[in-house]
Structure 1
Amino acid sequence: MNALQATARGLPGPSASRTRKLARAVFGGLAVLSLLMGVAGGLWRLGVAVPDPRVFPWTGPVLLAHAALMICGFLGTVIGLERAVALRHPAAFAAPLASGAGAWCLAFGHPAAGAWLGVAAAACFLAVNAVLVRRQWAAHTLLLLVSAGAWLVGNLLFALGHGGHAVLPWWFAFLVLTIAAERLEMARLMRRRPAASAALHALLSLLLLGAAWSGAAPRTGGLVYGAALALLAAWLLAFDIARRTVFSQGLARYMAVCLLGGYGWLGIAGVAWALTALGWPMRDVALHALGLGFVVSMMMGHAPVVLPAVARIKLAFGPAFYLPLAALHLSLLVRFMPGTAGETLRAAGAALNAASLAFFAATMAGAALAWRLRHGAAGARELT
C-alpha cells in the first residue's frame, strides 16, 4: 500500500508515521534528560556521587537547577504533552518543546535562557488550557487553567531571580492543582454534598493565597500553605473515588492504592511545610513528601493510562506494578527517619528514591514489551 492509498483509507502514510515517531523521540528525550539531570542534582546535593559529578563539567548548574529540572523540565514537559494531545493542534506542542528546551539550557549552563524559555512554555500552556476551557466549560477544566496560571507566576518569579521561598509554592501549586483537577473530573462519578465542592474550592483558594503570601511573608505564607495542603489531603481521603475503587481488582485497584498512599504523603507534606515555616528543620520532608511521595505516587498511578494516550505505548498490567510503588514509599521512610544517623539515612534514602524511579521505568518498559509479545506485530502496528 503506497502513501496515497494509506491516507485515503484514513491511515497514516509512511512519512507521517516517521514524523510522529521522531516527535515522540524528541519530546521523550527532552523529558528523560530533565529527569536524569534533576535526579543527579538531587543526589549530588546530599553527597551521593551517582553519577560521579567530577566527570560532568556542568555539575554546578545542575545542582542549582534541581527543582526547576524536576518540576518544570520533566513534569512540565510531560503534563504539557498530555494537554497538547488532548487539544490535537500542532501549536499546542510549543509548550512542552519550550519547557524541555529550557531544561536543557538550565542543565548545560545557560540559566537565563532556560528560565525565560520556562516562562514561554507556561504562557503557551496557559493558552492551550484556555482553548480547552472554551471547548468544555467545567469545574475541572477551569481548575486546570488556574494551575497553568500558577506555573506561569512561578516561572516569572524564577526568571526574575526570586528565591525558593517565593517560587516553590507556585511550582508545587501547579502540580497540586493539576492533580486536584483530574480527581475533580473523576469525582463526578460519585455523589457528594454541595458543601464538599465548596470546601474543595475554599481549600484550593487557600493554597493559592499561601503561595502568594509566601513571597512577602514566608512565615505566615508557609503556615497557610501547609495548612491548605494538609486539609486538601483530608478532603481527598474523604471524598475521592479511590476510597471505593481500592476494593476493586486489577488496574483500578492499583491506581487507587497509588492515590491513597499519595494522599497520606500530601498530609505529611502539609504538616512539615507549616513546621518549616515555624523554624523546624523539616524542609526536606516538606519538599520531598510533596514532590516524591505525593506527585510521583500520582504519576505511577496514572502512567498506565497516560502512556497509551500520549506516547501510544500500551502496557500489560500485572502485580509487578506494585513493586516500584512499595520501593518508593520505603525509600521515603528511610530518607525521613530521624535520629543521630539522620544525614546518612537521608543520603541513603535519596539514593533509594532514585533507584525506585529507575525500577518504575524498568517495570514500564517490561510491561510494554510484554504487551507487544502478547499481541504480536499487528498490535505494534496499531501504535504507529
Structure 2
Amino acid sequence: MAAGVYGGLLQLGFDLPEAPRFADSHGPLMICGMFGTLIALERAVALGRGWAYLGPAALGLGGLALLAGLPGILPAGLFVIGAFAFFATSVTIFSLQRAVFTLVLCIGALGLAIGNIMLAAGAPVGSFVGFWLIFLISTIAAERLELSRVLSPPPGALVAFVAIVAVFVVGAGWGVFEPPGRSLAGAGLLGMTAWLARYDVAMRTVRMRGQPRFMAAAMLAGYGWLVVAGLFLLLAGGAAFDYDLVLHAVFIGFVLSMVFGHVLIIFPGITGVVLAYSPWLYLPLALLHAAVAMRVVGDVLELAPLRLASGTVTVAALLGFTTTLALAARRSRSNAAA
C-alpha cells in the first residue's frame, strides 16, 4: 500500500525521489498487491484450507516482485496464479454454500483473474480496468448482500440485486470508458447504490453508537462516491480527467472507505490481533473523504494545485487511521492486562 500510494503521488506530479517503477506500477500494486492480497487472504481464512493460501501468497509475492524491479512477466505471472487460486477458493465456497452472494463473490474473483491475464499480456491498464472494478465492487456488494439478510428483504429485492449486478458487470466488462459500456456501468453503480440505500443494514446501524455507527458511517459515505462515479459515467463523457475522477471516486472514496469501516472486524479475524474502536477514527475517515472531494473538484475544474493537495490529505488520512488504530489497540491491551 505504501509503495502504491507513493507511486500515486509521483503520478500526481509530486517532486519526490525518482522511483519510476512505483509510478508505473501504481495500479497493479494497489489492486493486485494490496487489495487482492487482503481480500484473497480473508477468503482463504474463511475457507480454512491450506491450498487456498496460494492466492494471497502469489498476489503478495507479485507485488514484492514489482517493487524489486524483476522482469515484468514474473510479477504479472504471479498475479495471474494468485487470481486463479483466489477464484478457485471462491468457487469452492460457492459449492459449500450455494447462494447469490457467494456466486457474486465468484464473479468478482473472475474479474480480477481476467484483468490480470490482460495485464500479463501487456495490455494498457485503461483497457481492462473495468475488470478490476468488477472485482472490488462485486466483492463488496456481495458482502453487503449477505449482511442484508438480517432485514429479510422481499424476494423481488434479490431479483433486483442480480439484475443490477448483471448490468454493471456487462458495462464494466464491455469497457467502462467507452460507449455503451460506460452508460451501463454508470447505471449499474447508481442502481447498486439505490439498492444498498434501501436494504443495507448500515441504514439501521448508523443510528447506534460506538463501533457500529462508525462502520455504518464509513459505508454510507462510500456509497455517496458510487453515485458520483455513476453520474459522471452517464453524463460527463470525454472530460479532461474523466479516467482519474471515476477510478479514484471508486477506489479511494468507495473501496478505501469500506476498508476503513471493515478493518475492525477483518483484521482481528485474519491475524488474531484485537483492534479497539476509538472515536478518533472519525478524523482520518473525514480526511479521506475530504481528499476525494478535492480530487474530484480538481479533476472537474482542472486545478492542478487542488489535485496535488488531495494527495497530501489522502496520505494524512491513511497515516492517521493506522496510527489511531495502533494507539487504540495498545491502550486496549494495557487495560486488559490491568
- Fold conserved (TM > 0.5)? yes
Residue of structure 2 equivalent to 1:191: 152
User: Counterpart of 2:261 in structure 1: which amino acid?
Assistant: G
What does residue 231 of structure 1 align with? 191
Q: Does 1:262 align with 2:222?
A: yes
2:12 to 43, 46, 65: 46
Counterpart of 2:162 in structure 1 is 201
Distance 1:124 1:276, change over 3 A: farther
Maintained 8 Å contact 2:278/2:324: no
**Alignment of 1:328 onto 2:288:** yes
User: What corresponds to 1:348 in structure 2?
Assistant: 309
SS at match of 1:53: coil
| Structure 1 segment 113-152 matched on structure 2, within 5 A | 113-152=74-113
Distance change (3 Å), C-alpha of 1:227 and 1:205: same
Higher radius of gyration, 1 or 2? 1
1:205 Cα deviation from its structure 2 partner: 0.6
2:138 aligns to what? 177
- Superposed, 1:1-384 pairs within 5 Å as 35-49=1-15, 52-54=16-18, 59-109=19-69, 110-214=71-175, 218-275=178-235, 277-279=237-239, 281-338=241-298, 342-376=303-337
CA contact (8 A) 1:285 1:336 kept: yes
C-alpha deviation, 1:276, in angstroms: 5.5
Is the Cα–Cα contact under 8 Å of residues 265 and 294 in structure 1 kept in the other structure? yes
Q: Distance in 1 between matches of 2:301 and 2:239?
A: 20
**Could you tell me how far apart the structure 1 residues matched to 2:25 and 2:72 are?**
8
Distance 2:235 2:81 in 1: 34
Measured after TM superposition, the shift of residue 340 of structure 1 is: 6.4
1:94 partner amino acid: L
C-alpha distance in 1, partners of 2:301/2:267? 42
Aligned equivalents of 1:213 and 1:249: distance in 2?
42
Contact 1:62 1:108 (C-alpha < 8 Å) held by counterparts: no
SS of corresponding position for 2:52:
helix
CA contact (8 A) 2:241 2:302 kept: no
Cα gap change, 1:284/1:340 in structure 2, threshold over 3 Å: closer, same or farther? closer
Q: Which one-letter code corresponds to 1:333 in the other structure?
A: A
Code of the aligned partner of 2:49? H
CA contact (8 A) 1:226 1:269 kept: yes
How far the C-alpha of 1:107 sits from its partner, in A, is: 2.5
Task: Return the letter of the residue paired with 1:234.
Answer: A
What's the CA shift string for 1:319-358, capped at 9, x where partnerless? 1121110111112222222486711000111121122111
Secondary structure of 2:215's counterpart equals helix
The 2-side partners of 1:341 and 1:95 are apart by: 40
1:226 and 1:53 map into 2 onto residues whose CA distance is 38
Q: What's the counterpart of residue 26 of structure 1?
A: none
Superposition RMSD in Å: 1.8
Q: What is the Cα deviation at residue 275 of structure 1? A: 4.4
List structure 1 runs of 4+ shifted beyond 6 angstroms: none
Q: Does the 8 Å CA contact 2:277/2:325 hold for their aligned counterparts?
A: no
CA gap of 1:166–1:341, structure 2 versus 1, over 3 A, is closer
Give TM-score, length-normalised by structure 1. 0.83
Q: Distance in 1 between matches of 2:236 and 2:73?
A: 29
Amino acid at match of 2:52: A
**Paired residues of 2:240 and 2:302 also in contact (CA < 8 A):** no
Give the Å deviation of 1:121: 0.4
Which 10-residue stretch deviates more, 337-346 or 127-136?
A: 337-346
CA–CA separation in structure 2 for the residues paired with 1:92 and 1:113: 21
Aligned length: 336
1:138-191 deviations in whole A, cap 9, x for unaligned?
A: 221121111111111111111112223331110011000110111011011012
TM-score normalized with structure 2 length: 0.94
Paired amino acid for 1:214:
G
Question: CA 1:194–1:163 in structure 2 vs 1: closer, same or farther (change >3 Å)?
Answer: same
How far apart are the structure 2 equivalents of 1:262 and 1:340?
22
Instruction: Determine what percentage of the aligned residue pairs are the same residue.
Output: 38
